[in-house]
Amino acid sequence: MNIDQQNIVELGDELYEAWKKAQQINPITDRFPNITVEDAYRIQLRTIEKRKLYGNKVIGKKIGITAKPVMKLLGVDQPDFGHLMSDMEYENDKELKISNFCQPKGEGEIAFVLKKDLSGPGVTASEVLAATEHVLPAFEIVDSRIQDWKIKIQDTVADNASAGAFVLGEQTVDPHGIDLSACGIIIKKNNKIIGTGSGAATMDHPANAVAWLANKLGDLGFSLKSGEVILSGSLSLMFPIQSGDELSMEIDGLGQAKCYFG
């Protein structure tokens, strides 16, 4: 079945309701096998416009599928992106309510906060670093509204790249004073190490991922704005989260981030 504008609106509204109620829906690709990634971004934008109508603001972007094994798993050769909304940000070392999520998982990332706009095409990693006010550690809470995480690339793109929430650390660092590709990360859940990695896991350097995003947005007629928060992609494994879990991470040279779930 081909997808048309009415389907775009209906699916966007369905995903909006699923987000609002923390419920899961059947995979979109099961219902519309011919849906394209471009269609999926149109659905995503429909859900974002609805969220903005109810008082939420876009405060940044998230980049997903930055690791080659994940690209291979989903059968794609590039990342995807979603929008960060004002109601998705939580303070460091605070509680997140597990009931706000469907099936949450966690990732440790490096966040960029921009001081200049970035407009593609042709944005380079060096230009990203020059446009960055500071970097800091971040937990991304990914959360699929697609039943049982049975996703293809079109499903996750439509579902705002499976964005759920994020937590930023409190220490800010000038990106010019550190090699972000070499920064190691240690992630703990309930005081046990569950993951390690480095900045190179994100497209060889996190700034490469942000450059990709600026150029992708340029193709779509948008740009990254000064003040936006950009989550650049996971540095380690994605792990499940349950009620009662306490999460902590430390990234070399960037400090810590913490959160817990009740």
Q: What is the pLDDT of residues 226-259, one digit of tens each?
A: 999 999 999 999 999 999 999 999 999 999 999 9
Q: What is the pLDDT of residues 45-98, one digit of tens each?
A: 999 999 999 889 999 999 998 877 677 777 777 899 999 999 999 999 999 999
User: Is the residue at 49 inside a domain?
Assistant: no
User: Is the residue at 246 inside a domain?
Assistant: yes
Q: Which CATH number covers residue 202?
A: 3.90.850.10
Domain that holds residue 255: 58-261
User: Is the residue at 31 inside a domain?
Assistant: no
- The first and second tokens of residue 141, run together, are 């809470």
Q: How many domains does the chain have?
A: 1
Could you identify the residue written with the tokens 């699923």?
A: 18
User: Is the residue at 39 inside a domain?
Assistant: no
Contact between 21 and 147 under an 8 Å Cβ cutoff? The reply is: no
User: Is the residue at 16 inside a domain?
Assistant: no
pTM, two decimals, is: 0.96
User: Which of these ranges, 26-40, 55-69, 149-163, has the smallest mean pLDDT?
Assistant: 55-69
User: What average pLDDT does range 30-49 have in this prediction?
Assistant: 96
Beta strands in the chain (DSSP E): 58-64, 80-85, 89-90, 94-96, 104-114, 132-143, 163-168, 184-189, 192-198, 229-234, 239-240, 246-251, 255-261
Residue 52: Cβ within 10 Å count: 14
User: Is the residue at 170 inside a domain?
Assistant: yes
- The first and second tokens of residue 181, run together, are 């590709």
User: Is the residue at 24 inside a domain?
Assistant: no
User: Is the residue at 53 inside a domain?
Assistant: no
